[in-house]
A and B are shown apart, each in its own frame.
Chain A
């Protein structure tokens, strides 16, 4: 056994540094991508179970134990279906549109820190990178709507474009508040600035910005109650009305990957990411060496996972609870409510930091 390990270690060390570097990066990317896709697969199951329970149904329970095989059955069904390209559509854009929605949703995971040391690219402008990539997802939706050459799809694309442009501004302003409080654009540093128990999280001091960011996130992913781009009772399925098989599966995957992304970003910006809520509590400190309690106090990836799962649950909860917003009300909420709230709170935060008041007394301005 030890011979094999020695041989493997020896082979690894004999490789040129460039190859070592590339192999590490590629394996990190594969690890994150596979985990994200698995989480996406099981969140479809989670969604159907949650909404089923909320509507006094059981949800999927036929495939495998507790219906856990359902996502795989769905994937196989979608993979073996025929992809139909409408005759008068723009073929190239029709095919490339689902890819344009999926790629930014997956690429944004490059800067998400999973715990204190695991992140694919630890870059300084991480927050800007995330903002830039999440703003790109709208291209796939617009192009899909246009390339389909159908009125329903086109209406869906128009609605989605207006909605995403409106909510992106509020989202950006909410993040300005976060970066002011953390003093950094690096996502790892933002989490580290919130260390030391849940009283140090940005959740309470930045509560208005948290609500603005989270609701804008729900709007940005085109989820209920902001799903006017799909609106199945008005415009059938909106921008993806003519998509079938794998092309539809890609849209579906992108939507859920975006939901997981928004959940993890909200956890990182406002709920301390991988940090434990009980960190720095004096009465827990003596037990820091014990196996289970030590882990609870120390924080790490499981805490991030719990927070992501909570926000995913909230997505489904909102979907099962609220009726769809009317289009003009969506525009009003985005432009006339969220943008003023976030600007006012940024000003409040700036003044408090300047006068050395409250949680920002330590900020240097």
Chain B
């Protein structure tokens, strides 16, 4: 298969990625924009797969496409966004947007130039040996060298979850709530009293 197929695949994925990113910005329908973003995530996952980072690629699809974007889609579908009203502010915000884009492009060019000149080069992509396991390699670094950073990140995320839940939790008084354990524990003799009585009054 070799380098040629690799290059062809890279440029195919990269082109679709850029097209999808443009679609996110320019599509008039917010749901279409979300679907373009999903496509963009997929293409970047494919690019990572080409770089043999299969764990990161699959986790990108699993977390972003499988969970985060589903919630995005959920919210966007619920909101009835008026695209024309949003577009009115375009000429006000456009200069700022262009400035940010230029800054980012400048930084990227700097980075590429730096990498290209330094010894860690940008030549070709060197494939890993056959028995290389990206998942195992990542895990062995994450849980040994970087274990503190990893744990701190986990604690911060947990904090964010707890904070988000407490912010949205409202206690409404008088709410009727089912207690399923109590319902299951109920026996017939707690609720039902069998009364022995005659079918009709004695004369």
Contacts and interface: CB of A to CB of B under 8 A. Distances in A.
Given A139-B38, A142-B74, A128 B133 contact: no
B133 A165 contact: no
Contact of B62 (A124, A131, A143, A164): A131
A75 to B, nearest CB: 30
Contacts of B51: none
Q: How large is the interface on A (under 10, 10 to 19, 20 to 34, 35 or more residues)?
A: 20 to 34
A132 interface: yes
Given A131-B62, A138-B70, A146-B77, A123 B54 contact: yes
Contacts of A329: 180
Main secondary structure of the interface of B (DSSP, over half): helix
B122 interface: no
Given A123-B54, A125-B55, A125-B58, A142 B66 contact: no
Q: Which of A123, A136, A143, A161 has the most CB of B within 10 A?
A: A136
A187 to B, nearest CB: 14
Given A18-B1, A135-B67, A185 B74 contact: no
A68 interface: no
Contact of A124 (B1, B67, B74, B135): B135
B74 A158 contact: yes
Contacts of B65: 132, 135-136
Main secondary structure of the interface of A (DSSP, over half): helix
A297 B105 CA distance: 64
A143 B70 CA distance: 10
Interface in B16-63: 29, 31-32, 35, 38, 54-55, 58-59, 61-62
Contact of A165 (B1, B31, B71): B71
A125 B139 CA distance: 13
A189 B151 CA distance: 29
Contact of B66 (A18, A136, A185): A136
Interface in A88-129: 90, 93, 123-125, 128-129
B50 to A, nearest CB: 15
Given A139-B38, A146-B31, A129 B71 contact: no
Given A139-B38, A185-B135, A332-B180, A161 B61 contact: no
B14 interface: no
A168 B67 contact: yes
Nearest to B76: A146
Given A136-B66, A146-B77, A165-B67, A124 B61 contact: no
B62 to A, nearest CB: 4
Given A142-B77, A146-B31, A125 B62 contact: no
A222 to B, nearest CB: 15
Nearest to A146: B77
Contacts of A128: 55, 58-59, 62, 135
A146 B133 CA distance: 41
Contacts of A162: 74
Interface of A: 18, 90, 93, 123-125, 128-129, 131-132, 135-136, 138-139, 142-143, 146, 154, 157-158, 161-162, 164-165, 168, 185, 329, 332
11 contacts: A18-B1, A124-B54, A125-B135, A128-B135, A132-B65, A135-B66, A136-B65, A136-B66, A161-B74, A168-B67, A185-B135
